[in-house]
Amino acid sequence: MPELPEVETTKRGLAPHLEGRRVKQCEIRQHSLRWPVDADFAEKIQGARIQHLDRRAKYLLVQTDKGMAIWHLGMSGSLRMVDGNLPPQKHDHIDWLLDSGKRLRFHDPRRFGALLWTTEDIAGHDLIAHLGPEPLSDDFHGDYLFNASRSRKAPVKSFIMDGRIVVGVGNIYASEALFMAGIRPQTPAGKITRARYERLVEAIKTVLAAAIEQGGTTLKDFVGGDGKPGYFAQQLNAYGRAGLPCPRCPGTIREQIIGQRNTFFCPRCQR
C-alpha cells in the first residue's frame, strides 16, 4: 500500500505539471472505486484551474478555483502524467486532460482508491477532521506522544499506526522507526517512558524524511507521479527481513503479527 512518503513523492512529482493548468476534460471510465465517484464529477471539474497541490495524511489534495479534488491511492493506485494521445490500458480508470496537452492518469487494479470533490473547508471534512498531527510537523514531538499514550494498553506499534494519534506512519515505517529507536513493537504504549518516546519521534521523522528523499518505497506496484519508482526498500533494516541477521547486533530479525499486520523486529536489541 502506498504510504505517506509515496503520496508525498507523488505530490512533488505532479505539482510542476499540474499547478497553474486548466482541466479541459475529465474522463471517468470506472466510477466504482472505494467510494463511488460522483456522477457529475467530470462536469464539476471541467474548466477548473489547478491552483496548488497539498497532502494531508495519505490524501492528495488538489485545490482548484472551483473546489477541491481529494485523491486517495488505496492499495495499488498511482497517478502519472502521460502524453495526451496515449490510449488507456486496463485499470486506467480516470484521466484529466489538461490545457498543456498532457493527461493526469489514475491507474488502480484493485479499485480501493478514491476521488472525491468538496467545496467546503477541508479541515472539517469527514475524512480529515479526526486526523492526528503530521509526523514531520512541529506539532509531533515526544511530549505529545508520551501524553497521548498514558493508560494505553495497545502495542506501541499499533499506537503509532493509529491515524488519530499521528498520520501516515504505516506498517513499513512503523517497523523501521521502532527498530531505529530500539523499542520492541509489542510493548504496551502506556509503558514507554518520555525519553524513549522522544527517541521514537526522532526515528519516525528520520525514517519518513529519508523515504521521501529517496522517492518512496517500491514493493509491488507503486509508481511515482513522474513514472519513476522509489528506492527506499533497498535500505530497510527490519521490514521483510525475517530470519536474516540483525544489521545492528548478533541477533536475528523475527516476524510476528501485531494488529493483523506483519511486524519485523530484533528481540535482542529492541527492548
In the annotation, is 188 catalytic? no
Q: One of 3, 6, 8, 176 is an active-site residue; which one?
A: 3
DSSP-based three-state secondary structure for 225? coil
Write phi, then psi, for 203 (nearest 5 degrees). -65, -40
Asked whether the beta carbons of 207 and 235 are under 8 A apart, the reply is: no
In the annotation, is 261 catalytic? yes
Known binding residue 91? Answer is yes
DSSP-based three-state secondary structure for 9? helix
Q: One of 11, 56, 58, 105 is an active-site residue; which one?
A: 58
Q: How far apart are CA 81 and CA 172, in angstroms?
A: 27
Known binding residue 93? Answer is no
Rg over CA atoms, the chain: 20
Query: Cβ–Cβ contacts within 10 Å for residue 196, how many?
Result: 19
Which whole-number Å values give the CA distances from 64 to 18, 44, 74, in the listed order? 10, 11, 22
Known binding residue 152? Answer is yes
In the annotation, is 155 catalytic? no
Q: One of 27, 261, 267, 268 is an active-site residue; which one?
A: 261
The grid coordinates listed for 268 are 535482542
What residues form the annotated binding site?
A: 91, 110, 152
Q: Give the active site residues.
A: 2-3, 58, 261
Question: From the annotation, which residues make up the binding site for DNA?
Answer: 91, 110, 152
